[in-house]
């Protein structure tokens, strides 16, 4: 049984009030809350075995190294990687994308090559490719988004040709909630000779993710959106691709030998982890993976489908609300972006905050998508493992209050 009330008790922050009311935290798409198990695991590291990894031949350093590498293996199992050596720790999904852009991209792209992404991407899956194109002479092209918030796959077919070397798309839109047809994208991209990068920052925390079944070439995601701490992210890539990529950053720990004449690189995955890593954060991410695995990602996904289904029904009853993205809960994730008449999203969010409801307001790092719909900003409620239908009811009542005050 998925007992959301029991789950909520595992999250200390959710026990507090906001503006005199119980906090309804509806902004997990930006950053999730942390269960006590994650908080305590990081505290234990700092209290009991705080030492650098891969360096010390003494007890607490060896314990820290073992815990750090155990976290990597947990992540590898969580996404069903073929090998733990395919899991690279970074600061976040953004750094993971930049790693691919400036390591694989600079080594492989040239004038006349094409990168395809889409109009619904987070800026982190736009700007690195634009910069890479500026460095290499390649071109970036974009899959359009339909009025219903789906990728225009007929347009994707038209964009695919022999010049395309990389297709980089989200597995779940952080604004529309859209879940693109990943299998179709991979099949068509690979048939055209292109590699595929998936931005899994929204998807990996919310639904089962199997990189072998996805059959893509790169996957990126962030710890802080999946019950883990900030400052830790993941790049997964096929081992044979990583082996051929030059280091992204250089310095300590990513080397095998250093001489005056030159240097050689460490084995995977450490070749891409220069300097002292985020040790406590990696350990925290490992415990977050443990927590999600215990819940069961199929259960997490089903819980969110039920929440989104209820949210679409309930919010559509509020006069003036327009929801963006697919109407079918089964092809969208836990993010629901909307407008309320002509009231600015920042004003909507401010009034809701007074009611103890935390939502996101703005362009959500997706300005091209908002321009596609002729919008400056939207309000976004995003749900996760600890949210309840009662919080959605509070949101709807709060929106009625916004309309009464400002409409």
Q: 287 phi and psi, to 5 degrees?
A: -70, -30
Which residues does 365 contact at the CB level (< 8 Å), separation at least 6? Answer: 122, 123, 124, 174
In angstroms, the CA 89 to CA 95 distance is 10
Catalytic residue among 159, 255, 358, 365: 365
Contact 365, 122 (CB under 8 A): yes
In angstroms, the CA 101 to CA 15 distance is 41
* DSSP E strand stretches across 130-203: 139-143, 164-170, 195-199
Beta bridge partners, 116, equal: 141, 167
What SS3 state is found at 218? strand
210 has catalytic annotation: no
- Residue 394, token pair as written in the block: 């509070």
24-41 residues labelled b (16+ CB within 10 A) or e (exposed): bbbbbbbbbbbbeebbeb
- Residue 337, token pair as written in the block: 């972006």
In angstroms, the CA 202 to CA 308 distance is 15
In angstroms, the CA 53 to CA 66 distance is 8
Q: 166 phi and psi, to 5 degrees?
A: -150, 135
* DSSP E strand stretches across 30-145: 87-90, 114-118, 139-143
Name which of 38, 48, 41, 53 is nearest 277 in CA terms: 53
Helix or strand run (H / E) with residue 361: strand 360-362
Contact 396, 314 (CB under 8 A): yes
Residues assigned a catalytic role: 365
């Amino acid at each position: 049984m998925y007992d959301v009330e029991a789950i909520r008790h595992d999250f200390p922050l959710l026990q507090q009030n906001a503006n005199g009311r119980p906090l309804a935290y509806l902004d997990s798409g930006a950053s999730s809350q942390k269960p006590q198990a994650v908080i305590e695991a990081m505290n234990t590291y700092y209290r009991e075995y705080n030492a650098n990894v891969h360096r010390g031949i003494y007890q607490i350093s060896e314990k820290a190294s073992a815990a750090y590498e155990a976290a990597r293996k947990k992540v590898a199992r969580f996404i069903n990687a073929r090998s733990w050596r395919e899991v690279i720790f970074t600061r976040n999904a953004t750094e993971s994308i930049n790693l691919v852009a400036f390591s694989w991209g600079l080594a492989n792209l040239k004038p006349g090559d094409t990168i395809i992404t889409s109009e619904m991407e987070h800026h982190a899956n736009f700007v690195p490719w634009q910069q890479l194109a500026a460095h290499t002479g390649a071109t970036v092209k974009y899959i359009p988004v339909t009025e219903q918030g789906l990728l225009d796959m007929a347009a994707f077919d038209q964009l695919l040709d022999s010049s395309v070397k990389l297709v980089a798309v989200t597995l779940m839109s952080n604004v529309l909630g859209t879940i693109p047809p990943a299998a179709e994208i991979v099949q068509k991209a690979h048939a055209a000779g292109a590699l595929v990068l998936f931005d899994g920052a929204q998807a990996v925390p919310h639904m089962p993710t199997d990189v072998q079944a996805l059959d893509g070439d790169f996957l990126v995601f962030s710890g802080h959106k999946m019950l883990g701490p900030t400052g830790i992210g993941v790049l997964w890539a096929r081992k044979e691709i990583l082996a051929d990529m030059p280091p992204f950053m250089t310095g300590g720990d990513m080397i095998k030998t250093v001489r005056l004449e030159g240097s050689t690189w460490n084995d995977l995955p450490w070749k891409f982890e220069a300097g002292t890593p985020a040790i406590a954060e990696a350990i925290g991410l490992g415990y977050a993976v443990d927590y999600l695995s215990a819940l069961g990602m199929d259960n997490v996904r089903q819980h969110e489908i039920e929440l989104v289904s209820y949210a679409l029904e309930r919010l559509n009853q509020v006069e003036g609300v327009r929801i963006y993205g697919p109407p079918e809960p089964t092809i969208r994730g836990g993010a629901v972006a909307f407008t309320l008449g002509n009231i600015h999203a920042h004003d909507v969010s401010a009034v809701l905050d007074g009611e103890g409801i935390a939502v996101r307001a703005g362009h959500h790092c997706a300005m091209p998508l908002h321009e596609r719909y002729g919008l400056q900003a939207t309000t976004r409620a995003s749900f996760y493992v600890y949210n309840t239908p009662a919080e959605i009811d509070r949101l709807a009542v709060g929106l009625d209050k916004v309309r009464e005050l400002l409409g």
